[in-house]
Structure 1
Amino acid sequence: MARILVAEDDPSVRAFVVSALTMKGHEVVAEDDGGLAAETMEAEGGRFDLLLTDIKMPVMDGIALALQVGASYPDVTILMMTGFADQRERAHGLDALIYDVIAKPFTLVDLLEKVDDALNGRPVEVVPLARRSLQ
């Protein structure tokens, strides 16, 4: 399975994500802010298959983390998550760098499907903005 670095400042969301990914068989390292995740990525020499990061975090947000990881380790797939619509729009400026953005709250099935898609390089389904607001 994959090595995944999770950056999430909310302890309950982080625990849920880590538990779900571990039960699926992935090796997971979790940090509670982007700065620590950047340090972990650097210390590990980028040896992760996936970075799953929240966008809005203290110290270093997920966008800054994605920019740093993308520049230093372009082979690491980046998947972002957020519960804030304005943050999701900020991430869309990074289309060439990130795989996709998962909207919070998400279900276990949604999370595992999106992680599997990202790891397998499946194309992202383009959902029109009008439909996104209904979901």
Structure 2
Amino acid sequence: MLLYDGTCGFCDGAVKFVLRVDRVGTMRFAALESDFGAAVLARHPELAGVDSVVYVQNPDRGDERVFVRSEAALSVASYLGGPWRALGAVAGVVPAPVLDWLYDRFAAIRYRVFGRVDSCAVPAPEVRARFIA
């Protein structure tokens, strides 16, 4: 499960990218602002105030785990497999604090560069079932 900023133009593009290259087709999505996103954030108080992509492993189960920032991005790359897993493995040799610093720098300018959208885009009918409200 991938939680994303539903008003971020870059995040919207990233979700579309994952949908396009996801060979397995099991990744599900929810906006951080959705009821599902709010429930995940409520279950994980350490995420209070998070302004990042959140990768949720085993959602709604007793062994649910959450990953944020660069760790979330690397988890998605690993899930996607192929060249994305390899790229994630290469990036994974960089220390996490450095990756998170880079992630935070990009996150700080994402709205200026990629803009905001008024609301989450309505997914195409063929992938709508992969989105949780």
Could you state the TM-score of these two structures normalised by the residue count of structure 2? 0.36
Considering only CA atoms, is the larger Rg found in Structure 1 or Structure 2? 2
Question: Which structure's residues are more often helix, by fraction?
Answer: 2
Could you state the TM-score of these two structures normalised by the residue count of structure 1? 0.36
Structure with higher RCO (Cα < 8 A, 6+ apart): 2
